[in-house]
Homo-oligomer: A and B are copies of this chain.
Amino acid sequence: MSRKVFGQIGTLKSEKVEEYKKLHANAWPGVLKTISDCNLQNYSIFLQGNQVFSYFEYVGEDYEGDMKKMEADKVTQEWWKHTKPCFEKYSISPESEFYHDMEQIFYYE
């Protein structure tokens, strides 16, 4: 089984930090099921001020295919209608509308 770790950074709108926390304190079962179905596991989100960082591990064989599967999931689409507006767009880069992949510079098992 292959296993790849991902780290992603994002910036929340200051007035949306509490809403983002509340959403994730009670994440929808259908969203969690889709995370598992798309071969993601050990998923954490951390907060500092209005900066968020997500960490997860991908254990499947086709990351891009699984991400397309996630994007096609109706419950996840509905979830993103709540979560994506919490983000400050383009705060990380001109392409960043949501979470942005970071470069991994160290790994020690």
Contacts and interface: CB of A to CB of B under 8 A. Distances in A.
Count of identical protomers in the assembly:
2
Contacts of A24: 105-106
Contacts of A25: 105-106
A102 B43 contact: no
The 7 A-B residue pairs with the shortest CB-CB distance in the complex, in nearest-first order: A7-B46, A46-B102, A45-B106, A24-B106, A48-B102, A43-B108, A55-B55
B106 A43 contact: yes
A2 interface: no
Interface of A: 5, 7, 9, 20-21, 24-25, 27, 32, 35, 41-49, 51-55, 92, 100, 102-109
A105 B46 contact: yes
